[in-house]
Amino acid sequence: MDRIKIVGGAPLNGVIPISGAKNAALPLMIASLLSEDILTLANVPRLADVSQLARILGNHGVDVTVAGKRPGEMELTGQTVRLDARTIVDTTAPYEMVSKMRASFWVIAPLLARMGQARVSLPGGCAIGTRPVDLLLMALERLGAQIEIENGYVVATARDGLRGAEIEFPKVTVGGTHTALMAATLAHGTTVILNAAREPEIVDVADCLTKMGAKVRGAGTSTIEVTGVSRLHGTHHSVVSDRIEAGTYAMCVAMAGGDVLLQGAQPELLQTALDVLTEAGAEIAATNEGIRVRRNGHGIGPVSVTTAPHPGFPTDLQAQLMGLMTRAKGTSRITETIFENRFMHVQELARLGARIHLDGQTATVEGVSVLKGAPVMATDLRASVSLVIAGLAAEGETTVNRVYHLDRGFEQLERKLSACGAQIERIAGER
């Protein structure tokens, strides 16, 4: 298994190109199942999750072809993925595929809307909590689907097609909103989604669906209205930039010091996180090219943050912020309200000398003046990069093991950081 070795203490200076958003690319790829025509997606990141979803879609009969710069080339403008779902050969998504990536469960919506049936494995356990699919199934039932659970599979049918309805989620759910949005595009009549997720990735998917001929209003607000159409056509769409990647690298600069342009980052997509970084002492400036982040000579100030659905502080940046706060001059408090079990990085940060006390959903971080490098273990995608952030400032050498978690969500992380002066390298493991 590959490892990443970091020698801390080097400031970061230069340019880091921000890739397309994984959290938009995956549902956009799944949306290809809604049309018999070709969907072409530009600015798709080269990630393990993208490759896995391509295999899952191929199992349904989608012809997936990829063009773009090779991974070895530093200029990262994303790859272009062409998805041809003209012929659906199988409406079953098997356990061995769905269990590897939870987002693949969302194929149930377009398969049901277009084919009138879908048989999709329940996704099983997850390292950061149960993340149940009950709200997704509730949305489909409101649209007239018949849902049965058989031998660990969800069997959904809508022989006469789905019908528009009012769907009110009891809590904000990104997966539920994606599911309802995709299913409603081909339903008879109008669907109103209440308490919808407002994430930029929802807006990006809605924009693409609109280009495909869907009638969607209100994406980005808590109420989305979808008027169903008889068919969707193909289109060309560029994936929105990854706000989580941008926020992560901004925290890397805040931790290591230096001056970096996050090229292609869109500040309006992560303003709450940028405000927190400004409070912590980083200098943030929006430019025509992206976001410029600086920290030169000033210490890191403590902050108190509670994760919340967009436009609140993203749960997907919670671990990274905790990594940064390990070196703050004072005590920080971070409260996680979205996912249970999302503090698994705490014990690994402690191996570097961090002082963190857990009390239920809240972590109290007492900043220390020195972190010491050590071998650490990645436990999930965001936790793994928090260890990288801490390692950038730790004395000596930090080795992050199980970096396949990183590869699920960060494109060429070690290349992007080393290009800005970080002493970081990937050590290939035995195959």
DSSP codes joined into one string, 362-426: EEEEE--S--B--EEE--SHHHHHHHHHHHHHSBSEEEEE-THHHHTT-TTHHHHHHTTT-EEEE
38 assigned to a ligand binding site: no
Using alpha carbons, select from 100, 14, 8, 93 the residue that is nearest to residue 52: 100
Residues 133 and 122: beta-carbon distance below 8 Å: yes
Token pair 């990735």 is found at 201
What separation in angstroms does the CA of 174 have from each of 205, 237, 288, 322?
Answer: 12, 21, 30, 24
110 assigned to a ligand binding site: no
DSSP codes joined into one string, 330-344: SEEEEE--S-TT--T
Structure tokens at 287: 């430019």
Helices 22-31/174-184 angle, 10° precision: 30
DSSP codes joined into one string, 98-144: HTT-GGGGGGHHHHHHHHSEEEEE-----TT----SHHHHHHHHHTT
22 assigned to a ligand binding site: yes
338 assigned to a ligand binding site: yes
102 assigned to a ligand binding site: yes
135 assigned to a ligand binding site: yes
23 assigned to a ligand binding site: yes
Spot the catalytic one: 126, 208, 252, 420: 126
Known catalytic residue: 208? no
Backbone phi and psi for residue 295, each to the nearest 5 degrees, phi listed first? -150, 105
Please tell me the distance from the alpha carbon of residue 425 to that of residue 417, in angstroms, as a whole number. 9
The strand order across the sheet containing 375-377 reads 375-377, 397-401, 3-7, 423-427
Helices 243-256/271-279 angle, 10° precision: 10
Neighbours of 416 (CB within 10 A): 25
133 assigned to a ligand binding site: yes
What separation in angstroms does the CA of 265 have from each of 79, 273, 404?
Answer: 17, 13, 25
User: Residue 208: helix, strand or coil by DSSP?
Assistant: helix
Residues of each annotated binding site for phosphoenolpyruvate: 22-23
Binding site feature residues for UDP-N-acetyl-alpha-D-glucosamine: 102, 131-135, 316, 338
Q: Which amino acids are annotated as binding site, given as ranges?
A: 22-23, 102, 131-135, 316, 338
Q: Which positions are catalytic?
A: 126
